[in-house]
Amino acid sequence: MPSIFNSLNTASRAVSANRLGIDVSSHNIANVNTPGYSRQRVNITTSHPMDTIYGAIGTGVDIGGVNRIRNSLLDVQFRNTNHNFGRSSVMEQMFYQVETIIQEPSDNSIGSLMDDFFNAFSELGGSPEDMNLRNVLIQKTGNLSQAFQTKSGRLREIQSSLRRDAESSIRQVNQISRQISELNRQIAVSEDQFSSANDLRDQRDNLLDQLSEFVQIQSMEDSNGQITVTMNGQMLVSQTQFRELGIESEGNGNQLSVFVKGSQNQRLDVQTGKLSGIIEMHNTEIASVLDRLDTLAKSFIDEVNQIHRAGKGLPTGSPPVANTGLNFFTGSDASTIEISSTIRNNTANIAASNDGSVGNGEAAFAISNLRSQRLLNARSETFADYYNFTVTDLGTGVQLAGTDRQNQELLRDQITNQRESESGVSLDEEMTNLIKYQRSLEAAARVIGIVDDILETVINL
């Protein structure tokens, strides 16, 4: 037969369970704005009943622990989307910066300034002795050369900035990997002595979310609660150990590559994530624009110089002599193209004539006609065609990166909302739980009071 003390024990269990419920709800409320926090719930179950001659008599409740409300499937989906978002967002940002530098269409674009250059030579061909037209040509040439140099320089500055971004990203990846390995240690120690280390697990999951923005990762948990994190099959974190990544330049600094630090410094193919976007913009996209600008500038220099060397300037001196065999441009690419100082300092040296006779502007017309000749890409494209393809290709890159970023952001936000609905803290729900736990605790305390009164009565009999 159950004694009066069974009722006391049952009520005491209820007090403990509801007091813990209040503590957990209070903890949830305190962390309502904590990034990555998962709401917690007390796992309360019916305790094993007591067998009596009257049947099984309940003994109250057992506390099965404090559970973390977390959906691991949504975590995987979020991280798979997050690395795609990281890549597309950085590429959209960088493409936009490159597009801003190219400035198409505008009066200061290379396309417009090439037209101004050819128009100036065409006008000079009609009046080759006009010194004002020669001065205008010098000005237009200076504008074009400056545009090539400025845009090339700014693109190289973006490349340098991307290298710094890559180095910063590598440092952050290494720091996060180190923190995850330390949390692995703390979780294993804590869960060996107590129940699930919910708050430590939240911190680790939050770090995994952050890491997934930089690189694509996979994680697996072992029986000790520790996780192994891999990237393209390469281990980043294993229990309490982690491996650092490094980055280095190859090909005269034009190519960045990631490697796993160690005795062999094994190369790592970074396929997606923010780090991947940075490397692709540095190694491929911006390098391609620079290469096309250099090819355009070199062809421009070579073709104009070839005609100009064969032409003749205005006769000067006594007796008058027309200079010939002079290059109009110096330099070899977009960063070095410049009008020859011999031409700039004496506009009479501009070879507008092909024979030196008065009124002959055939050389100037020949240079002007270069605009319609197919001289690039195996002589299939004009200067304008070649440049416009560069601009169009860049615009396509901007559009695709922007669309991809929007799609990935939308998907990421949807998954975030799903995670928040499952794991996030609802203040209304927590207040309801607090009232429920309070009422239950008060009732259990009332039972203890009644039992105490009964015991006092029995003792005084």
The secondary structure element, H or E, covering residue 66 is strand 61-68
Residue 361 to residue 37: CA distance in whole angstroms: 78
Indicate the average pLDDT of the chain. Answer: 91
- With pLDDT > 70 as the criterion, what percentage of the chain qualifies? 97
59 phi and psi angles, rounded to 5 deg? -120, 10
Residue 460 to residue 429: CA distance in whole angstroms: 47
Give percent helix, percent strand, percent coil of the chain, each to the nearest 5.
60, 15, 25
Q: Is 33 exposed, middle or buried (0-12, 13-18, 19+ CB in 10 A)?
A: exposed
The C-alpha torsion from 147 through 148 and 149 to 150, rounded to 10°, is: 40
Q: How far is CA 306 from the centre of its chain?
A: 46
Cβ neighbours around 41 below 10 Å, total: 15
Tens-digit pLDDT profile for residues 440-452:
889 988 888 887 7
Instruction: Note whether 116 and 368 are within 8 A (CB).
Output: no
Tens-digit pLDDT profile for residues 170-199:
999 999 999 999 999 999 998 887 778 999
Tens-digit pLDDT profile for residues 233-258:
889 999 999 999 999 988 777 899 99
pTM of the model: 0.88
pLDDT bucket at 318, cuts 50 / 70 / 90: low
Nearest to 349 by CA among 336, 370, 363: 363
Q: Mean pLDDT throughout 298-309?
A: 97
Residue 192 to residue 185: CA distance in whole angstroms: 11
Q: Mean pLDDT throughout 368-376?
A: 95
Tens-digit pLDDT profile for residues 214-225:
999 999 999 889
Residue 72 sits at the vertex; the CA angle it makes with 67 and 75, to the nearest 5 degrees, is 120
Q: Is 397 exposed, middle or buried (0-12, 13-18, 19+ CB in 10 A)?
A: buried
Instruction: Note whether 183 and 203 are within 8 A (CB).
Output: yes
Tens-digit pLDDT profile for residues 404-415:
999 999 999 999
Tens-digit pLDDT profile for residues 7-31:
788 888 888 889 999 999 999 999 9
How close are the terminal C-alpha atoms of the chain, in Å?
Answer: 21
Structure tokens at 101: 């530098």
**Residue 1, pLDDT above cutoff 50:** no
Residue 51 to residue 99: CA distance in whole angstroms: 81
DSSP state of 355: S
